[in-house]
Structure formats: structure tokens, C-alpha cells
Amino acid sequence: MPNASSDEANVVPGRIAQRTLAARNARYNDEVRRLLDAALELMQQCGTTSKPRVVDIVAAAGLSNDAFYRHFASKDALVATLLDDGSERLRGYLEHQMAKEGSPAVKVARWVEGVLSQADDDIAATTLAVLWNGGSVGQGPASGRHFASGPLSTLLLEPFAALGSTTPELDASLVAHATFGKLSDYLWQQERPTRAEIERITDFCLSAVTRS
């Protein structure tokens, strides 16, 4: 066999190493998904009457404690990931609903409606169960207070600017905190907003940028 250069000699080992890394990444992704799905299912089952432990989540996922702590420092870290996942799903839904509209005012209305739709029965029960498992209320990303308000407020920047806001980032932040704060109230009180309340909240949000 002819002698190979240093670069040529590393081609096959490098290919094998990449294949090994890809297999490991796929296995790790599967572990994370199984842990998240198992945790969510257990939390849905328990509601706000009991909290599944890490050992319960691991058993339901069919994995080990080592697998859990390979990806999450604590149960609170897992809950925060569940909330992040929910926030991303909500963002996709809001973007889709807002994209259907041409009027910036109606886009804002769709944003408000979409956020408050999280208080609907099935969604609310799941969200509340996850929040309740998140440790101390009012502390950290899993506390349930405005956990998605920051990322989702950015969807309001364009319509607010079109409506004449001179400070769209500040206005969007204020509106998002107000709307998510009200959503938190509905969730913890286990109530759904009425159509009149949704319209009133929408009018309040629009007044932040349309006031004379």
C-alpha cells in the first residue's frame, strides 16, 4: 500500500468519527425527546395534585438517571425546556395567524387572541400542570409569570411601527407583559376570557400606539 499524506491518512478516520458523532447525536436527541414526552404526560396526568419526580420521569421514558442528568441539571431545567418548547409552538401559531391579515391593527388582534387562547380548557390544563411543576412561583423561567412574553413580543414590532409607534420595542414589551400577565391570571384562576374581555384587552393594546 502506498504511503499517504497526513491529510489523506485522516480521511477515513475522520469519516468514521463523524459517523460515530452523528449516531451519538441521534441517540441523545431521542433521549431528550423521550424525557420531555414522558414528563409532559405525567404532569398532565397529575395536574396540580402531585408532582412527578425525576425517578418517575426516567422510568416512564424507559431511560436511566444518567441519561436524565446528561441533558438536564434538574427537574426545573426540564420544565424550563418544556416551556421553551411550548413558547416556540405558540410563536409558530401566532406567526401563521398574523400572516393571514393585512391590517396591522388586525394583526395585533390576532396576536392577543392567540395568546389568550392558551387559557382554553385543554391547553390551559397542560400549561398549568407544567407551571405548577416549575418550582417557586415568581422565580426563574419556569415560574409561569410571562415566561414567553419577551420572545413573542417581537411579533408586535412590525405592526406597532406600521401603526405609528415611535418606540415599538418598548410598546411591544409593555403590551406583552400586560397580556401575558392577564393570561397567567386566567390560568391560575382556571378561567377563560370572554369575547368581551378579549376585545377589551385588544383595545387596550392598540391604545398603546394609536392614542393621540
Burial bucket for residue 194 (CB in 10 Å: 0-12, 13-18, 19+):
exposed
Residue ranges of domains in the chain: 1-72, 75-212
pTM exceeding 0.75: yes
| Residue 155: predicted pLDDT | 96
Q: What angle do CA 125, 145, 152 make, to 5 degrees?
A: 90
Q: Which fold has domain 75-212?
A: Tetracycline Repressor; domain 2 (1.10.357)
Q: Is the pLDDT higher at 136 or at 121?
A: 121
Cell of 146: 410571562
Q: Has residue 85 got a pLDDT over 60?
A: yes
Q: Is the pLDDT higher at 3 or at 172?
A: 172
Q: How much is the average pLDDT of 75-95? A: 91
Q: Has residue 141 got a pLDDT over 50?
A: no
| Residue 83: predicted pLDDT | 86
